[in-house]
């Protein structure tokens, strides 16, 4: 085997190993600095301007209530991902006003969970019916918890609680 062919054979045989040795590094993407890591950690916390708003409306059918969670990011844009878990206040197993749970007398009970509406005119909202019919005059308190699931918006409880009184 002539010398130049042997040299081409060696280069051809070793080239894949050279590529594998450098595969873990990228010449295009820089490594994160400690300052960038600290900035990402700050972004994982609720930022000023982030909104987690709860509203409760009467249904147009039956005697239930409509729970409406609305989530905005720190720039005022509606959430495009994530989910919401709704809770109602209960005292000894019975629905109660939010004040009962806020003062420690009752506890928040999970009602249900669903995904954020990702697009359209209701983007950023989560709507769920509370179908437990209550006697007239009964007030029930509600809250929710947002889970960002990679949306860029931090997990957080609702900024407010909302009470609904059955007619």
Each residue's pLDDT tens digit, 37-84: 333 333 344 555 689 999 999 988 767 899 999 999 999 999 999 999
Q: How many CB atoms lie within 10 A of CB 142?
A: 28
In the chain, what percentage of residues exceed pLDDT 90? Answer: 62
**What structural domains does the chain harbor?**
3-42 (no CATH), 48-165 (2.60.40)
* Residue 16 vs residues 10, 12, 19, 27: alpha-carbon distances, Å: 11, 8, 5, 18
pTM across the whole model: 0.70
Output the pLDDT for position 47: 59
Instruction: Express each pLDDT in 94-127 by its tens digit.
Output: 999 999 999 999 999 999 999 999 999 999 999 9
Rounded to whole angstroms, how far apart are CA atoms 63 and 132?
A: 8
Instruction: Express each pLDDT in 133-153 by its tens digit.
Output: 899 999 999 999 999 988 889
Please name the residue that has the structure tokens 């894949």: 16
Closest by CA to 161, choosing from 105, 103, 91, 87, is 87
């Amino acid at each position: 085997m002539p010398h130049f062919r042997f040299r081409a054979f060696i280069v051809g045989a070793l080239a894949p190993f050279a590529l594998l040795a450098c595969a873990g590094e990228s010449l295009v993407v820089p490594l994160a600095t400690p300052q960038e890591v600290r900035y990402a950690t700050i972004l994982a916390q609720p930022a000023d301007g982030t909104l987690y708003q709860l509203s409760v409306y009467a249904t147009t059918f039956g005697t239930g209530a409509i729970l409406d969670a609305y989530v905005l990011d720190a720039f005022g844009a509606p959430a495009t991902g994530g989910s919401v878990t709704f809770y109602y206040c209960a005292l000894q197993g019975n629905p109660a006003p939010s004040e009962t749970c806020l003062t420690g007398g009752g506890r928040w009970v999970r009602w249900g969970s669903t995904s954020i509406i990702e697009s359209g005119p209701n983007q950023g909202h989560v709507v769920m019916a509370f179908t437990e019919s209550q006697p007239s005059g009964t007030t029930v308190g509600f809250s929710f918890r947002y889970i960002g699931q990679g949306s860029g918006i931090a997990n957080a409880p609702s900024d407010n609680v909302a009470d609904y009184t059955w007619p």
